[in-house]
Amino acid sequence: MQQPSWRKQLFRFSPYLLIAGAILLSFMLFSITAGFMEITVAYNTVMIACAVILIALAVGLFLRKQKLTTAQIVMILMFIGLLLRIVYMLMTPFNERQHDLGNLDNNGHLQYIYNLANFGKLPDGYGNQFYHPPLSHMISAAVYNITSLFTSYMNDMFQAVKMVPCFFSAATMVVCYRLFKEFRMSDSAILIAMAVVCLHPTFMILSASINNDMAMIFFFMVAVLYTVRWYQNPSFKNILLLGVSIGCSMMSKTSGAMIALYTGVIFLIVLVKGVRARRFGRLIGQFAAFGAVAFPLGLWYPIRNMILFGQPLSYIAEISPTSELFVGNVSFVDRFLTFPVSEILQTPFCHPFEDANLWTYTAKCSLFGEFEFPADTITTVFLQVLVFLNVALILFSLYAMVYVLVRDKNPDNRFGNWSMFAIWAIQIVSFIYFNIQYPFGCTMDFRYIVPTVVTGAFFLGRYLQARRENRPVRG
């Protein structure tokens, strides 16, 4: 008997519900543990529990007699990725390794969430971080208020807010898996791509960052997924979900609008095909429905601020050229056309107030963010080796991208290949332009181009797939 539609929908969204439940349960257990023991003991308990779970998983896989399917291996990768995200979230205090968090009186992300939670009001200006749209902050404020039902300590409420980016970071794994399936990647290609997405350090760091980055990245990738689904099946359902995802991406962070460059090209391609086939009337209706959803969601807040406070629609928080972060006095060649290995040999960590070369900064930042971690001499050497391995992986992914675009002759792969290239190009070109327009150390942060992790993972997997498909058949 066919399942009722509501059960199908519940099953479809069940991975997100399971992720949310796992994060909530882990946080509750950690909070209870921390309440009965010293906080350092609680941290050690989390690490021991994580080690036990991983060992049990390894033993179970070793004793298993049946061969694992691709879906089962992907599930294991997602489980490990979820575990790492939860552990990092629990081990990282809400006021450590954050971006533009501020305090309760300087218009940072912390005050943004606090005002929404306690006074239910949007910012009364656009200074510092108040120019950002409020979706991520609204969700965080809701978690803050729910937590306030169980504790009166403000720190505990903000600790709980970390569950929001942790959920978005974990849910992005599910979105990427579904995107790779839409592109009809082979089983081995999906495994390689998902290993990168599930285990990449930048998703761990962002899983405890209580600003709006991870929410925007999640909705950005959902928008990519539904752009692909609408291209393959241009239905009202798919275009409405696409409109919601783009609107939510922009309502999380205005830079989420970059996905519209890719989606707009796909709209144009489908429209041209419809005109040629003289079947474009329905498309016009779909575009109207898309606009009726996406534009109000994505633009209401900047328009509100423009009307109330005179904020420009494309406004970005300004930093004075006299700031120690300013790197505009460094030559274009040194910033963009070189790769000084000495900067990696000196330290594996980024120094926003000292570094100026975009590419070495990006290579280090993609692993460790803009932060330094405690490290002795031996550990520092190990971390430097990781940075060089990361550089090698990045270079190989770029080679894989070129190989796939040039040598992959499978017509079924063409749309996916060029779609991922378009996403990568949009991200990189906008990143370079952003760093030219705003020459500051903090502008080089890898968090502005996190979707390139997904495109790189895709091309690494597709490279293996293309090599196998291009391999001559032996007689």
Taking only the tens place, the pLDDT of each residue in 49-78 is 888 888 888 888 777 777 888 888 999 999
Same domain, 216 and 204: no
Q: Considering the domain boundaries, does residue 3 fall inside one? A: no
Q: Which of 291, 318, 345 is the last residue before a domain boundary?
A: 318
Query: In this predicted structure, what is the pLDDT of residue 1?
Result: 40
Taking only the tens place, the pLDDT of each residue in 399-441 is 999 999 999 888 899 999 999 999 999 999 999 999 999 999 9
Please state, in angstroms and rounded to a whole number, the distance separating the CA atoms of residues 298 and 339: 38
Q: Considering the domain boundaries, does residue 269 fall inside one? A: yes
Query: In this predicted structure, what is the pLDDT of residue 427?
Result: 97
Q: Considering the domain boundaries, does residue 8 fall inside one? A: no
Residues of the chain with pLDDT below 70 are 1-12, 471-475
Please state, in angstroms and rounded to a whole number, the distance separating the CA atoms of residues 395 and 229: 30
In angstroms, what is the C-alpha Rg of the chain?
23
Same domain, 32 and 170: yes
Query: In this predicted structure, what is the pLDDT of residue 277?
Result: 80
**What letter represents residue 437's amino acid?**
Q
Same domain, 453 and 340: yes
Q: Considering the domain boundaries, does residue 240 fall inside one? A: yes
Query: In this predicted structure, what is the pLDDT of residue 471?
Result: 66
Same domain, 85 and 219: no
Domain total in the chain: 4
Neighbours of 355 (CB within 10 A): 23
Query: In this predicted structure, what is the pLDDT of residue 5?
Result: 57
Q: Considering the domain boundaries, does residue 25 fall inside one? A: yes
Same domain, 367 and 291: no
Q: Is 55 exposed, middle or buried (0-12, 13-18, 19+ CB in 10 A)?
A: exposed
**Residue 51 structural domain:** 13-92+162-209
Same domain, 311 and 391: no
